[in-house]
Amino acid sequence: MTGRPAMDLLAVEGLAKSYGGVGAVRGVSFALAPGEVLALIGPNGAGKSTCFNMLNGQIRPDAGRIRLAGTDVTGMAPRRMAGLGVARSFQIAATFGSMTVRENVQAACLVHAGGMARPFGRADRRFRPEAERWLDHVGLLAQADRPAAELAYGDVKRLELAMALSGAPRLLLMDEPTAGMAPKERHGLMRATVDHARRNGIGLMFTEHDMDIVFTHADRVLVLSRGRLIAAGRPEAVREDPDVRATYLGGGLTFAAAPGRTEAVS
């Protein structure tokens, strides 16, 4: 993990967005290499979601530039970004609730293959093996026939991941990917995703409030506070950064991978 590849997958310069005169994101710059795992952390309301939504085109930036493998994609619509290999999951997981779990992934495969416009033939017979392979990959195969709306919250997150991965993305953005999961599930899912990303050269960027996940799985960590990057670097360095501790990490009583952890049960 020494020496960054010459070509960045994602290069962001001076990204900014304000709402009603209040700067939500103010001049954020960073880069991400293929196969690299980058965590974006910061207090609630620091601009993480806004930042994320600009990266896949959900929100148009006021200023700044986003380059994907050298191509300027600033302000491009999400569906065009998807075509260029940007996949994402949402903070509040978004799936197709009225369909079965399998149909959700089949729909994703159909979109990626450009076959969604066909007005004939049975959709539930298309991409069935592919869909089941991805469901198996995220551990959802046993629930393939259930309506997606009935899934437990953690499983909805898995389904989102399966849909995102089925398009063989180059860049995967995950907004709080493990929220609502038990600790072991969290690490299991993250490990599998990170392995997959490294093997396939996918750039992976995620936001997360579980510091144990962040410090265990990220190659690098960006810390956002009031719209600005206040720290960036390797997890150990960021964890000991006094600024980061003051604005975000606190005394470290609520997670295991905390700096200078003290046992404190009142």
Q: Give yes or no for residue 176 binding other proteins (CB under 8 A).
A: yes
Q: Which of 5, 45, 75, 201 binds other proteins (CB under 8 A)?
A: 45
Does residue 143 interact with other proteins by CB under 8 A? yes
DSSP state of 142: G
| CA dist list (Å): 166 to 62, 144, 216 | 32, 15, 26
245 vs 266: CA distance, rounded Å: 22
Half-sphere exposure of 174 (CA within 13 A, CB side): 33
| 193 binds other proteins, rule: CB under 8 A | no
What is the per-residue burial (b if ≥16 Cβ within 10 Å, else e) of 186-218? bbebbeebbebbeeeebbbbbbbbbbbbbbbbb
- HSE-CB at 180 with a 13 A cutoff on CA atoms is 15
How far apart CA 257 and CA 253 sit, in angstroms, is: 10
Binding to other proteins in span 95-124, by CB under 8 A: 95-100, 103, 106-108, 110-112, 115-124
Nearer to other proteins, 122 or 199 (CB): 122
242 binds other proteins (CB under 8 A): no
Q: Which of 5, 14, 75, 183 binds other proteins (CB under 8 A)?
A: 183
Residue 35 or residue 47: which is nearer to other proteins going by CB?
A: 47
By CB under 8 A, tell whether 149 contacts other proteins.
Answer: yes
Does residue 243 touch other proteins according to CB under 8 A?
A: no
- Give the residue with the Cβ less far from other proteins, 193 or 247: 247
Examine residue 27 and tell whether it contacts other proteins (CB under 8 A).
no
| N-term to C-term CA, the chain | 41
257 lies in the site for other proteins, by CB under 8 A: no
